[in-house]
Amino acid sequence: MSPLPALAEAARRDLPEVLADLRRLVELETPSNDKALLDAGLDGIEAWLAERLGPPAERVRYDGGIHGDVLEAVYPGTGAGDVLFLCHYDTVWPRGTLAGWPVSVDGDRFSGPGCFDMKAGIVQGVWALRELRGLGLPTPTVRLLLTGDEEIGSPASRPHIERAAKGADLALVLEPSREGRVKTGRKGMGLFDLEVLGVESHAGLDPEAGASAVHALAGLVPAVTALADPARGTTVNIGLIAGGTGRNVVAGRATCEIDVRIQDPAEMPRIDAGLAALAPADPRVRLRLSGGWNRPPMNPNPATERMFATAREVALGLGGDLEQVAVGGASDGNFVSAMGGAVLDGMGAAGAGPHSRDEHVLISATPHQVALVSGLLTALAGE
């Protein structure tokens, strides 16, 4: 007999507790750049984990330095398989956001800073494992990795993610779904900074003595954006420009921040070469390029395709279907996919509005998302 109906019923029954836990985590403010709040928030999440799942068999908290710490907790399974739950607890919302935007429930919408991206995913993953235990169903070994710097590029957590992924049969990235669809493709991301150094002079008295960094940068912008190749999935965006010191000063310095997204790994060297070849028209102007590739692209591999097929069977058994989608945003799943591992991303909440004041979780969809993860886990444990 299929365990899926019992899992679906348990998830519906426990929805009030799931929502109470989500409120608890959302009310722990954890902005990516606030070390004190990140540390306190992770303390609170770890206490909650112990309440819901008991003490883990293995537990390590890695120092993130100026960034959020990484918590690794292992819960041994009763069946086959080893699954990595990949979650981040940091959010884009600064300290004090809750004061003006408290947690609220309005009809089918649960709203609050960081609820959708991605504290609901953390709660749903823990409850998926809890439901399996409650029903006495087989579970794989689950390695829960909680990171505190995903929203700023995972500078401290990347080595821990890559190490933890090596022994996993599947990485479940409990990021938000895309309207219920699983993300099996994500773009890689490059973050570059271009600094232009000119020669300052008086704009009225001695303009020819100067070499404007602002004018030079303006001339370089078309060359930067021309590196985009939408047909190959490559986009280039200059998101921030700054420069100069005054209206009547030939600017001595200007900067721009460049965001590059790629689907094809072969685009990396082409973009690198294009940025390195930038040259200002005025030889007195100098360029400094810094930054680099933050995440490789995530493209479906055979291991991911097999896991998606299993997850779709679970969804069909729950009375629905499951689709896959490729998106332009990046996540920590990119690192695992680049290593050849199986990754199902977007296995967390259904809802909308990440990084916006419209951020919300759809309450009615939450039991299905919990049951989908628990059904997949027990399917893998029985293989």
Give the neighbor-by-neighbor strand order of the sheet with 70-75. Answer: 58-62, 70-75, 141-147, 82-88, 170-173, 343-345, 182-186, 324-327
pLDDT higher than 90, residue 272 = yes
Alpha helices in the chain (DSSP H): 4-13, 15-26, 35-53, 97-100, 120-135, 158-165, 213-225, 267-276, 302-317, 333-338, 366-381
pLDDT higher than 80, residue 383 = no
Q: Binning pLDDT at 50, 70 and 90, where does residue 180 land?
A: very high
3-state secondary structure 30-95: CECCCHHHHHHHHHHHHHHHHHHHCCCCEEEEECCCCCCCEEEEEECCCCCCEEEEEEECCECCCC
pTM beyond 0.95: the answer is no
Percentage, residues of the chain above pLDDT 90? 99
pLDDT higher than 90, residue 125 = yes
Provide the CA 304 distance to its chain's centre, in angstroms. Answer: 18
Q: What is the mean pLDDT of residues 202-230?
A: 97
Q: What is the pLDDT of residues 91-112, one digit of tens each?
A: 999 999 999 999 999 999 999 9
Q: Binning pLDDT at 50, 70 and 90, where does residue 367 land?
A: very high
Pairing of strands 170-173, 82-88: parallel
Domains of the chain are 4-187+298-381 (3.40.630.10), 188-295 (3.30.70.360)
Whole-number pLDDT of residue 131: 98
Asked whether the beta carbons of 114 and 148 are under 8 A apart, the reply is no
Q: Binning pLDDT at 50, 70 and 90, where does residue 1 land?
A: confident
pLDDT higher than 90, residue 48 = yes
pLDDT higher than 90, residue 244 = yes
pLDDT higher than 80, residue 156 = yes
Q: What is the mean pLDDT of residues 362-379?
A: 98
**Which is more confidently placed, 163 or 167?**
163
DSSP 8-state secondary structure symbol assigned to residue 136? T
Quickly count helices (H) and strands (E) in the chain: 11, 18
Q: What is the pLDDT of residues 309-359, one digit of tens each?
A: 999 999 999 999 999 999 999 999 999 999 999 999 999 999 999 999 999
